[in-house]
Amino acid sequence: MKDTAVLLIDCPDRKGLVARVSGLLYERGANILHADQHIDRDLGLFFMRVEWSLNSANGNQPEKGTAPATSSPFDLNAFHEAFTPLAAELGMHWQLTSSARRPRVALFCSQYLHCMADLLHRWRAGELDCDIPLIVSNHREVENLAAFYGVPSEHVPVTSATRVQAEKKQLDLLARHQIDLVILARYMQILSPEFVAQYPAAIINVHHSFLPAFTGARPYHAAHARGVKLIGATSHYVTAILDDGPIIEQDVARISHRDQVEDLVARGRDLERMVLSRAVRWHLDRRILCYGNKTVVFD
């Protein structure tokens, strides 16, 4: 059982940031497992992810007499208290999370179940470190699958006339289940800016992405008509602007003139499953920082 803390930081770049953060962790006896930084030189921004052990048993061994080692568990609350003024001084945005607190995830889907089935299987197999207390769909197809994995599903139909009401119901469900992350697993409705604003950098979507990009209702038909040699899929955070949020992951598959539209669609499904599941895993492992309209993915 993993028992770690993760600290994610972004702030204006300046000298000494690594020294001061790592110095405080050292002082508190943190046993660092992973640390990574990134500097965006154009924007003058600094990003950092540190993960350390919360119990003293595992990890590296302090050598005798050299370090302020401790055999007691790491005191996360005390660190939080000590870090707060430092972060304020340095103008940091930061998140401090413990693996003991598992994120609570809701899955939204419509009639296509391939992403849903993939995520649920990965979750059951232990690949996704979260709780999934809720599935929401505007269709009925998901119900058997939800039942098989023991996840309650809520049917919330959506029409243009009932959209506002439906979103209100969805938001109530999310609030009641204390959801941290919403995954749009081929959910075919557009969420309103008001909905999206409730979950900043906490709604992940997947869509096709082509070379060159196609928009419109039937992208695979357009791609086939254009004769592209590659098709792709993109996972991203949802923002108020449709399909234009910070990109988390992309992948492509090679196709040829022999592939019909239905082959493109099938390949697209495989790509969608892969790029969505990777994005979800990285989010749950707190590997992603958003800034502007981009992401840093600490791998």
List binders of a second copy among 69-128 (CB under 8 A).
69, 113-114, 117-118, 121, 125, 127
Mark whether 172 is an active-site residue. no
Buried/exposed code over 47-79 (b: 16+ C-beta within 10 A; e: otherwise):
bbbbbbbbeeeeeeeeeeeeeeeeeeebebeeb
Residue 11's φ and ψ, nearest 5 degrees, are -165, 170
Determine the Cα–Cα distance for residues 45 and 43; give it in Å rounded to an integer: 6
Per-position x/- string for 164-203, each x denoting binding to a second copy as judged by CB under 8 A, each - no binding = ----------------------------------------
Is 43 or 164 the residue whose CB approaches a second copy more closely?
Answer: 43
What is the end-to-end Cα distance of the chain in Å, rounded? 21
The DSSP 8-state label assigned to residue 48 in this structure reads: E
Give the nearest distance from C-beta 285 to a second copy in angstroms.
11
Site for a second copy contains 13 (CB under 8 A): yes
Q: Does residue 68 sit in helix, strand or coil?
A: coil
Question: Measured between alpha carbons, how far is 197 from 181 in angstroms, rounded to an integer?
Answer: 13
Angle between helix 114-124 and helix 261-284 axes, rounded to 10 deg: 40
38 binds a second copy (CB under 8 A): yes
Contact present, 209 and 247 (Cβ < 8 Å): no
Q: Least Å distance between CB 278 and a second copy? A: 9
Q: Is 268 in the site for a second copy (CB under 8 A)?
A: no
List 62, 97, 168, 171, residue binding a second copy (CB under 8 A): 62
Of residues 78, 88, 188, 211, which one binds a second copy by CB under 8 A?
A: 211
Report the nearest approach of a second copy to the CB of residue 257 (Å).
4
Give kind and range of the element (H or E) at residue 40: strand 31-40
For residue 163, the minimal CB distance to a second copy (Å) is: 27
Among 3, 13, 131, 243, the active-site one is 243
Contact with a second copy (CB under 8 A) among 110, 205, 209, 239: 209
